[in-house]
Structure 1
Amino acid sequence: MVGMSAEITGVYKRLLDAWNGGDAEAAAALFADDALVVGFDGGHIGGVEVPAGGTYVAKIRRVWDGRMVHAIVGVVPPGSYDLDPALNAVHTVVVEDGKIVLFQSTPAKYMARPDLAASHNAELTPLLLTGDTLG
């Protein structure tokens, strides 16, 4: 189980690193040919698109059965030094045979729950200070 958890978290970290590096080829290589990708706006993406700019940081909340990751994510837009709460998201990633078969990015709006929005950023901000992509 530990090995499988390390594998899926490694795939997820490589995805974040590819995004942060603007490397669409490296990101695409992590996905199965028939992967389902649901973007931040809810649209189903045909193929992998590298998000436009910014630095992504994430913290894994849980790994299920060594194949599904649930993580919170934040983005520091280009030219900024702080996370933009409007870009906070929750990622769900399912990996089979070393490839991503499902990736879903859900906006983390925390309607009427400002405590959760503040907690989201508070958990991710230390990653910016250490330079880690994934905590």
Structure 2
Amino acid sequence: MAEPNEIKELYQQLLDAWNNRNARGFAEQFTEDGESIGFDGSQSIGMEEIFSHLNPIFEQHPTAKFVSKVKSVRFLSPDTALLRAIAGMVPPGKSDINPNVNTHHTLVAVNTDGKWRIQLFQNTPAQFHGRPELVEKMTEELRQLLK
């Protein structure tokens, strides 16, 4: 039986690739037909498209680093898992989270031939329109991870 830590490790490898600005490493966490939906709604399908989308971003822009906290891992079947996390971003040259880009991460992982890969990763803005106290609560929860 699969363990939640296997799914958390897959998610951490994805974030490590992002934080290291490694488009190939990011894309390689996905299945051949896996999907990535970015913060701005950009959708990339398949490892090569994910790589082609991210590579110029990493080459041309200093990207912020993710700080995240896994909130849950649920197995939908022995070979399918759902991970939910919250994340914030620390801009280049800064030491604090930018609350304007807090996000919810949703990851669906599948086990194929004994290897966990990402089928879907969605990065949804956590704007909480009209409820600034929720933005602050999430930001504070993530700031605890910076200490």
Common topology (TM > 0.5): yes
Aligned-pair CA distance for 1:85: 1.0
1:47 to 2:57 alignment? no
Q: Tell me the distance in 2 between the aligned counterparts of 1:76 and 1:16.
A: 13
Match of 1:21 in 2: 20
Match of 1:76 in 2: 90
Q: Tell me the distance in 1 between the aligned counterparts of 2:13 and 2:37.
A: 18
Aligned-pair CA distance for 1:23: 1.4
Aligned-pair CA distance for 1:20: 0.8
Q: Figure out how many residues of one structure are paired with residues of the other and give that number.
A: 128
Aligned-pair CA distance for 1:4: 2.6
> Partner letter of residue 73 of structure 1?
A
Q: Tell me the distance in 2 between the aligned counterparts of 1:16 and 1:128.
A: 15
Task: Please say which structure displays the higher CA radius of gyration.
Answer: 2
Q: Secondary structure at the match of 1:47?
A: helix
**Larger deviation, residues 12-21 vs 58-67:** 58-67
Q: Secondary structure at the match of 1:119?
A: helix
Match of 2:73 in 1: 63
Q: With structure 2 as the length reference, what TM-score do the two structures score? A: 0.81
> Partner letter of residue 95 of structure 1?
A
Choose between structure 1 and 2 for higher RCO, CA contacts under 8 A separated by at least 6 residues: 1
Q: Is the 8 A contact 1:83 1:125 kept in 2?
A: yes
Match of 2:110 in 1: 96
Q: Is the 8 A contact 1:58 1:73 kept in 2?
A: yes
**RMSD of Structure 2 on Structure 1 (CA):** 1.6
Q: Secondary structure at the match of 1:22?
A: coil
Match of 1:85 in 2: 99
Q: Which runs of 5+ in 1 are unaligned?
A: 130-135
Aligned-pair CA distance for 1:42: 1.1
**Larger deviation, residues 33-42 vs 62-71:** 62-71
Q: Secondary structure at the match of 2:43?
A: coil
Equivalences for 1:6-17 in 2 at 5 Å? 6-17=5-16
Q: Which runs of 5+ in 2 are unaligned?
A: none
